[in-house]
């Protein structure tokens, strides 16, 4: 087979399922057959024309699959037929940025994010993986596609919000917005040992999931100013760490106001326009505060570590997968996800027939009524 089916970005608001050439690996590269992938909020930004991507590119950056073909130099490390995932971010490990520890900025600003951004992505039957030695992560025996499909981006990103915030055991943490990334940030706060974990959103259904993911308190922004309530819950001081998981001026500013002197604002959101920090919230620059932004960490070791958390039953992300679709149904899947209909959190996309895992699934049918 020389061609494959793929979802091609045709310009603002236009996706097309097309036949395109199947990729072949050069030295150090691999091709994997995609079995499951998903749609990310960033993909919505791209399709809506809010983040610039060149028309003609295959989108998608969350690949689960099977090794189809290996380029030179990889035979000792991997086997054709092995099940693997690959991070949304694929660092080379060898450039200025990678060797300085900024793997996600591989090769330059945001450069680690290649799939569906600067090279063809995972919404296809096959995917070419660059720097395969650094990026192919075998799936532990016994884990389903559905259990690991959120590792490449959502889990890695959400957790990194907690990590970059340097949450210490016993810290108080507020997470602003409880979409999939915010939920994984909430989960990350539990994994880093936070005590008081405050989940904030405007949708009560998401706050319900937040409590399952570890929030010890939830605040609905429709009920009033969350910052005032956070101050009340922390003897007037504010939290040790606030995580911003939406990408808006309002949540950024609230997160800044929510931290105590000496506290940290860990930002995961994608911003457009300028960000404004009132000097009072900054204590005029004298508050010993830290603001840190983080792009999703990738690379095979990050993926191995995240899957190890699932393998050893420390976390279970499957409640986040609420719907299944085939790749042909991308338009329906995208429509559902981008409009956040039907309680959707994340959808699983299958280039072939959807896998029958955990439960009988049907394309577009919600699989977990409780979530």
**End-to-end distance of the chain based on CA atoms, in angstroms?**
40
A 10 A CB-CB count for 191 gives 17
Selected binder of its own copies within 63, 269, 351, 354 (CB under 8 A):
269
Selected binder of its own copies within 270, 328, 332, 364 (CB under 8 A):
270
* Separation in Å, CA 111 to CA 67, 296, 338: 24, 12, 25
Nearer to its own copies, 140 or 343 (CB): 140
A 10 A CB-CB count for 2 gives 7
Selected binder of its own copies within 274, 360, 369, 370 (CB under 8 A):
274
Selected binder of its own copies within 22, 83, 114, 192 (CB under 8 A):
192
Segment 45-74, which members bind its own copies (CB under 8 A)?
72-73
The span from the CA of 158 to the CA of 188, in Å, is 7
CB of 266 to its own copies, least distance (A): 10
Burial 200-221 (b: 16+ CB within 10 A, else e): bbebeebbbbbeebbbbbbbeb
The answer to the question of residue 108 lying near its own copies (CB under 8 A) is yes
The answer to the question of residue 88 lying near its own copies (CB under 8 A) is no
**Joined tokens for residue 92:** 């080379």
The span from the CA of 127 to the CA of 122, in Å, is 6
CB of 25 to its own copies, least distance (A): 13
Segment 208-267, which members bind its own copies (CB under 8 A)?
216, 237, 240, 247, 260-262, 267
Selected binder of its own copies within 8, 84, 159, 177 (CB under 8 A):
159
Q: Which residues pair with 34 in a beta bridge?
A: 65
The answer to the question of residue 362 lying near its own copies (CB under 8 A) is no
Nearer to its own copies, 20 or 95 (CB): 95
The span from the CA of 213 to the CA of 187, in Å, is 5
Selected binder of its own copies within 82, 208, 311, 368 (CB under 8 A):
311
Selected binder of its own copies within 35, 36, 104, 361 (CB under 8 A):
104
Taking contact as CB under 8 A, which single stretch among the options 194-202, 317-325, 344-352, 353-361 is the one that binds its own copies?
194-202
Taking contact as CB under 8 A, which single stretch among the options 2-10, 13-21, 224-232, 273-281 is the one that binds its own copies?
273-281
A 10 A CB-CB count for 357 gives 18
Q: Which residue has the tokens 């050069």?
A: 26
The span from the CA of 285 to the CA of 25, in Å, is 51
Rounded to 5°, the CA angle 299-303-305 comes to 120
Nearer to its own copies, 226 or 247 (CB): 247
Selected binder of its own copies within 255, 259, 295, 367 (CB under 8 A):
295
The answer to the question of residue 173 lying near its own copies (CB under 8 A) is no
> Element (H or E) spanning 9, and its range?
strand 3-11
Selected binder of its own copies within 13, 54, 76, 278 (CB under 8 A):
278
The span from the CA of 259 to the CA of 283, in Å, is 11
CB of 134 to its own copies, least distance (A): 4
Selected binder of its own copies within 22, 33, 114, 133 (CB under 8 A):
133
The answer to the question of residue 100 lying near its own copies (CB under 8 A) is yes
**Joined tokens for residue 125:** 């039957």
Segment 320-359, which members bind its own copies (CB under 8 A)?
none
> Element (H or E) spanning 130, and its range?
none
Selected binder of its own copies within 80, 119, 291, 371 (CB under 8 A):
291
The answer to the question of residue 143 lying near its own copies (CB under 8 A) is no
Strands 30-38 and 64-70: antiparallel
CB of 220 to its own copies, least distance (A): 20
* Separation in Å, CA 144 to CA 95, 139, 147, 167, 183: 34, 9, 5, 30, 21
The answer to the question of residue 275 lying near its own copies (CB under 8 A) is yes
């Amino acid at each position: 087979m020389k061609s494959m089916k793929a979802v091609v970005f045709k310009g603002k608001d236009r996706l097309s399922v097309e036949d395109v050439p199947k990729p072949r690996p050069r030295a150090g590269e691999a091709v994997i057959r995609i079995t499951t992938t998903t749609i990310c909020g960033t993909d919505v930004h791209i399709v809506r024309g809010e983040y610039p991507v060149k028309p003609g590119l295959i989108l998608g950056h969350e690949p689960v699959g099977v090794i189809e073909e290996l380029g030179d130099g990889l035979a000792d490390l991997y086997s054709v037929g092995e099940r693997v995932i690959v991070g949304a971010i694929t660092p080379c490990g060898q450039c200025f940025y990678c060797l300085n520890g900024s793997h996600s900025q591989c090769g330059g600003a945001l450069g680690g994010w290649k799939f569906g951004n600067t090279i063809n992505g995972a919404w296809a039957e096959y995917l070419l993986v660059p720097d395969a030695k650094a990026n192919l992560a075998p799936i532990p025996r016994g884990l389903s596609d559905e259990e690991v499909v959120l590792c490449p981006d959502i889990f890695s990103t959400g957790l990194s919000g907690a990590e970059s915030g340097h949450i210490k055991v016993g810290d108080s943490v507020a997470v602003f917005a409880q979409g999939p990334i915010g939920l994984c940030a909430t989960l990350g706060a539990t994994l880093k040992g936070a005590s008081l974990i405050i989940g904030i959103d405007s949708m009560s259904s998401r706050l319900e999931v937040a409590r399952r993911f570890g929030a010890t308190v939830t605040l609905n922004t429709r009920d009033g100013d969350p910052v005032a309530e956070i101050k009340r819950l922390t003897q007037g001081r504010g939290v040790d760490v606030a995580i911003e998981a939406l990408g808006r001026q309002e949540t950024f500013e609230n997160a800044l106001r929510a931290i105590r002197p000496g506290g940290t604002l860990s930002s995961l959101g994608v911003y457009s326009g300028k960000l404004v920090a009132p000097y009072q919230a900054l204590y005029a620059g004298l508050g010993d505060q830290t603001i840190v932004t983080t792009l999703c960490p990738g690379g095979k070791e990050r993926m191995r570590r995240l899957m190890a958390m699932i393998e050893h039953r420390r976390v279970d992300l499957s409640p986040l997968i609420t719907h299944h679709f085939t790749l042909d149904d991308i338009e329906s899947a995208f429509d559902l996800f981008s409009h956040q209909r039907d309680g959707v959190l994340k959808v699983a996309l299958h280039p072939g027939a959807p896998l029958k895992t955990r439960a009988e699934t049907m394309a577009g049918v919600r699989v977990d009524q409780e979530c």
